[in-house]
Amino acid sequence: THGSMAADVTTTATCGYCSTGCGLRLHVRAGEAVGLTPETSYPVNLGMACPKGWEALRVLDSPERATTPLLRGADGKMHPVEWDQALRTFVTEIRGVQDRHGIDSVAFLSTGQIPSEEMAFLGALTRFGMGIKHGDGNTRQCMATAVSAYKESFGFDAPPYTYDDFEQSDCLVFIGANPCVAHPIMWERVLRNPNDPKIIVIDPRRTETATAATEHLQIRPKNDLALLYAITNVLIERDYVDHDFVAALTEGFDTLREHVAAYDVDTVARAAGISAASIIRTAEAIGTGRAVSLWWTMGVNQSYEGTRTAQAIINIALLTGNIGRPGTGANSITGQCNAMGSRLWSNTSNLLGHHRFEDENDRRKVAQALGMDEACIPSEGSWKYDRIIEGIRRGEIKGLWVIATNPAHSWIHQSDARELFDKLEFMVVQDMYHTTETAQHAHLVLPSAGWGEKEGTFINSERRYGLIKKVRRAPGQALADFHIFRAIAHYWGVADQFAEWTDPEAVFRILQRLSRDQPCDITGIDGYRHLDACGGIQWPWTQQDAAKSSSDTNGGAPGKPPQERRLFADGRFYRPNSRALFVVDQVQPMPERTDPVYPILLLTGRGSVSQWHTQTRTRQSPVLRSLYPVEPYIEINPVDADELEIVHGEKVNVLSRRDEITVTANVTATVRRGQAFMPMHYEATNRLTLAHFDPHSGQPSYKNCAVRIIANNE
Ligand code: SF4
């Protein structure tokens, strides 16, 4: 499906995998995309794409696509049914559960993979129309800690950067981030940096990014928070503090200084297994840098103290005045193509657009913007993901609707989750593929269209709204999630409530109304056409911005926002006093430590540039499958392997306190002694992990559990 020069027309859409949000030029013949090439003029990727993007069309053609609704029969097997029967069954069964066990006994689990318009529709339909109180997104698994950290420190969930910062820093610090593999086009942007920047990587594993770094601080797992405090201590002791910035724009500096004074470099270095000199060098690089940017992803987020670790990164940026200028920032890179949309628009923890369910004024404002009765809007947010799963265990949740996510593979301590799904009285899975591990537990499967088969907007990591477009017909009877939600609204009898929600662009206009006067205000965007013409637009883009831009540059036509748009250049944060807050906390012990029975600490993460999450899509491409090992593997340090008499390429058994799996040994020095690493993309990995969570965000701590590895002699 690579580029076809014989196509009739081309059109550009945002990629549907990761949060980079590359622009892909689709080559369309007779209404069907026949090929694609990376878009050279798109400001995100500048003509580059990773293998997943190149293969984006091929995975739509899989025989594993769900092409009709499937209903589990009395024989226990799934049978094709018409949409009418499927929707009647949906309503009868879900209502039946609510009648038998109470209105709150049904929940939904959603995704960061569908457009904002669909997320908002799902959130509004369930919570305002169907009386479903509890629902959460799989974004809880990847970036909830960044949300809670930003909200408390900045007053709003606001990643401040723009991708140009990758090219404008003279020092980049990556903490628990491996962009070479996880965000390869962002890494390409780093490689374009003309300043010969220092690249510092803080990561227990010698990742591809660490290999390319100026300095790799290969810390023992979960010593990151103490290390960041020690770096902060050095910065303060050596007076690398931007005093004017701290005095004018922050709050809590004295508390920060007193707190970090306890994090002596030698002690922290010893505990972390690195040299004191490397900590000093890192602090010096940050302190003397002209434009320093700090970037983090799942190594920080997926931790039992992820929120506080993210805030320790934010503290460093604030302390040194590295925010609001080119090449700076405390920058969370998110994961999924629309994780940022989920953060704003899923209507689960936050009322549409970061309003608050608990706030009467916010409820009234949202009700007015939607033209709905205020009484429809509940006065509290949903349970978080882990509490929903716990609710199934306790028998409080009896019905579950899962949309475009695969928790039977991805949820922490997965074997437990699978047993729980089997306890449900009714489970609906709405997905492109009927073969996911989660769909195996479903009573009803609703077939949905995928990326390329529908339209809407994604928001990428730098807050850019980008368009996705319909360039293919969905197979069989599969429908866009948007149209499934519309149909459910109709069958549930609440279609009148959503009369305005006719198509994705109509919902985009609703989202614009809801964003008004919020930090994420997008009232200046002149519809999908404007997004298309500009190569996407970063929030905020207000009516005032638009008026200024069109009169300045465009003779009154909808103006093109400037490409470099970062937050806080005006020195105002979103807290009531406009100041950012330094937040500190005590370092917590690891929830599960190694011991003589389970002496190895297992890390998990992204394994290959060509794999995506639970491989639901990527394994449908022969090209992508050929780029990584099909069989699950574990990386083991050569010295450990020697002691355990394990040979590279042999099968080994890996046991945790939860389960036991058999995988292939990959003996490699990427991990230090006493540690091992498994990619999350294999079904086996999360049978081992420990269900433990960051208390502030509810994010699972995927990165640390104790295991034993033994040679498999069968
Ligand atoms: Fe798509 Fe991400 Fe690859 Fe870009 S880097 S092509 S957005 S998967």
Partners of 402 in the beta sheet? 109, 429
My answer on whether 215 and 295 are in the same domain is yes
Ligand 1 centroid to residue 185 C-alpha, Å: 7
Residue 488 has pLDDT above 80, yes or no: yes
**Ligand 1 neighbourhood includes 17 CB (under 6 angstroms):** yes
Q: Point out the ligand 1 atom lying closest to the alpha carbon of residue 17.
A: 8
- Among 232-241, 438-447, 662-671, 699-708, where is mean pLDDT lowest? 699-708
Q: Does 237 map to a domain?
A: yes
Residue 258 lies in a domain: yes
Q: What is the pLDDT averaged over residues 260-277? A: 98
Q: 306, 333, 360 — which closes off a domain? A: 333
**For residues 229-258, average pLDDT:** 98
- Candidate from 54-68, 417-431, 557-571, 674-688 with smallest mean pLDDT: 557-571
Is any ligand 1 atom within 6 A of the Cβ of residue 184?
A: yes
Q: For a substitution probing ligand 1, which of 25, 42, 45, 191 has the most ligand atoms within 8 Å of its CB?
A: 45
Domain count, the chain: 4
Q: What is the widest separation between alpha-carbon atoms in the chain?
A: 76
Q: Read off the CATH number of the domain in which 110 is found.
A: 3.40.50.740
354 in the same domain as 325? no
Percent of the chain with pLDDT over 90: 84
% of the chain at pLDDT higher than 70: 97
Does any domain span residue 141? no
Give 310-377 as a DSSP string: HHHHHHHHHHTT-SSSTT-EEEE---BTTHHHHHHHS-SSSBTTTB-TT-HHHHHHHHHHHT--GGGS
Q: What is the CATH number of the domain that holds 690?
A: 2.40.40.20
The Cα 106–Cα 95 span in angstroms is: 9
Does the pLDDT value for residue 505 go beyond 80?
A: yes
The answer to whether residues 94 and 21 belong to one domain is no
| Average confidence score pLDDT of the chain | 93
The SS3 assignment for 271 reads: helix
Which ligand 1 atom sits nearest the alpha carbon of residue 54? 6
Asked whether residue 640 falls in the same domain as residue 707, the answer is yes
Average pLDDT over residues 119-138: 95
**If you average pLDDT over residues 110-120, what whole number do you get?**
95
Query: Which residue has the CA at smallest separation from atom 6 of ligand 1?
Result: 53
Among 20, 37, 55, 340, residue to substitute to test ligand 1 (most atoms within 8 Å of Cβ): 20
Query: Which protein residue has the closest C-alpha to ligand 1 atom 1?
Result: 53
For the chain, the first-to-last Cα distance in angstroms comes to 43
Residue 555, number of CB atoms within 10 A of its CB: 8
Q: Which atom of ligand 1 is nearest to the CA of 612?
A: 8
pLDDT of residue 531 exceeding 70: yes
Structure confidence at residue 642 (pLDDT):
96
Q: Would you say the CB of residue 50 lies under 6 angstroms from ligand 1? A: yes
Q: Please tell me whether residues 363 and 446 are part of one structural domain.
A: yes
Domain presence at residue 414: yes
Residue 651 above 70 pLDDT? yes
CATH of the domain at 21: 3.30.200.210
Ligand 1 atom at minimal distance to the Cα of residue 20: 7
| Residue 6: predicted pLDDT | 58
In 65-143, where does DSSP find H-type helix? Answer: 83-101, 116-124
Question: What CATH number does the domain containing 292 carry?
Answer: 3.40.228.10
Last residue of a domain, one of 302, 333, 364: 333
In the predicted structure, residue 4 carries a pLDDT above the cut 50: no
Question: How many angstroms is it from 48 CA to the middle of ligand 1?
Answer: 9
- Compute the average pLDDT of residues 652-672: 95
Asked, for residue 563, whether it belongs to a domain, the answer is: no
Atom of ligand 1 nearest to the CA of 53: 6
- What is the distance, to the nearest Å, from the Cα of residue 22 to the centroid of all Cα atoms in its chain? 16
Measured from the Cα of 45, ligand 1's closest atom is 4
- Does residue 630 register a pLDDT over 90? no
Residues 36 and 169 in one domain: no
- Distance of alpha carbon 45 from alpha carbon 444, whole angstroms: 39
Where does the pLDDT of residue 712 fall: very low under 50, low under 70, confident under 90, or very high at 90 and above? Answer: confident
Q: Distance between CA 119 and CA 3 in Å, rounded? A: 31
Q: Which pair of tokens denotes residue 456?
A: 């809407």
Question: Does 166 lie in the same domain as 303?
Answer: yes
Q: Which residue has the higher pLDDT, 315 or 303?
A: 315
Q: Assess whether 114 and 186 both reside in one domain.
A: no
From 284, 309, 333, give the residue that closes a domain.
333
Task: Give DSSP secondary structure letters for 107-129.
Answer: EEEE-SSS-HHHHHHHHHIIIII
- pLDDT bin (cut points 50, 70, 90) of residue 699 is confident
Residue 549: inside a domain, yes or no? no
Give the lowest-confidence range in 4-13, 249-258, 356-365, 402-411: 4-13
Chain position carrying tokens 């434009």:
291
CB within 8 A of 483, min separation 6: which ones? none
> Is residue 690 lining ligand 1, measured as CB closer than 6 Å?
no
In this structure, the residue with its CA closest to atom 4 of ligand 1 is 22
CA 395 / ligand 1 centre spacing (Å): 40
Q: How far apart are CA 381 and CA 476, in angstroms?
A: 37
Residues 395 and 433 in one domain: yes
Q: Are residues 491 and 432 in the same domain?
A: yes
21 C-alpha to ligand 1 centroid (Å): 6
172 and 314 in one domain? yes
Look up tokens 């220092």; give the residue: 198
The sheet carrying 426-431 orders its strands as 78-80, 70-72, 444-447, 426-431, 399-403, 106-110, 134-137
- Mean of the pLDDT values across residues 691-711? 91
Residue 469 has pLDDT above 80, yes or no: yes
Convert the pLDDT of each residue in 396-431 to its tens digit. 999 999 999 999 988 888 777 888 999 999 999 999
Domain membership of residue 649 (yes or no) is: yes
Instruction: State pLDDT tens for residues 582-614.
Output: 999 999 999 999 999 999 999 998 888 888 888
Tell whether the model's pLDDT for residue 553 goes beyond 60.
Answer: no
388 CB less than 6 Å from ligand 1? Answer: no
Q: Which two tokens stand for residue 221?
A: 């797992």
What does the angle CA 61 – CA 64 – CA 65 come to, to the nearest 5 degrees?
60
Question: What pLDDT band is residue 551 in, cutting at 50, 70 and 90?
Answer: low
Residue 317 domain boundaries: 160-333
Is any atom of ligand 1 closer than 6 Å to the C-beta of 20?
A: yes
Compute, in angstroms, the gap from residue 28 CA to the centroid of ligand 1.
20
pLDDT at 145 over 70: yes
Q: Is the beta carbon of 181 within 6 A of some atom in ligand 1?
A: no
| Ligand 1 atom nearest residue 183's Cα | 5
ipTM associated with this complex: 0.99
Atom of ligand 1 nearest to the CA of 460: 7
Asked if residue 5 has pLDDT above 50, the reply is no
Please count the other Cβ atoms lying within 10 Å of the Cβ belonging to residue 490: 14
**Ligand 1 within 6 A of 357 CB?**
no
Q: Report whether residue 15 contacts ligand 1, using a CB cutoff of 6 Å.
A: yes
Is residue 416 in a domain?
Answer: yes
Tell whether ligand 1 has an atom less than 6 A from the beta carbon of residue 558: no
Residue 554 has pLDDT above 80, yes or no: no
- What are 325-334's pLDDT values in tens digits? 999 999 999 9
Query: Is residue 3 scored above 50 in pLDDT?
Result: no
Q: Which residue has the tokens 């200046």?
A: 524
**Is any ligand 1 atom within 6 A of the Cβ of residue 23?**
no
Give me the pLDDT at residue 84, please. Answer: 98
Give per-residue pLDDT as tens, 559-568.
778 766 899 9
Cα gap 607→182, rounded to integer Å:
8
Mean pLDDT, range 200-223, rounded to an integer? 96
Q: Note whether 521 and 639 are same-domain residues.
A: no
**Token duo for residue 652:** 């080994």
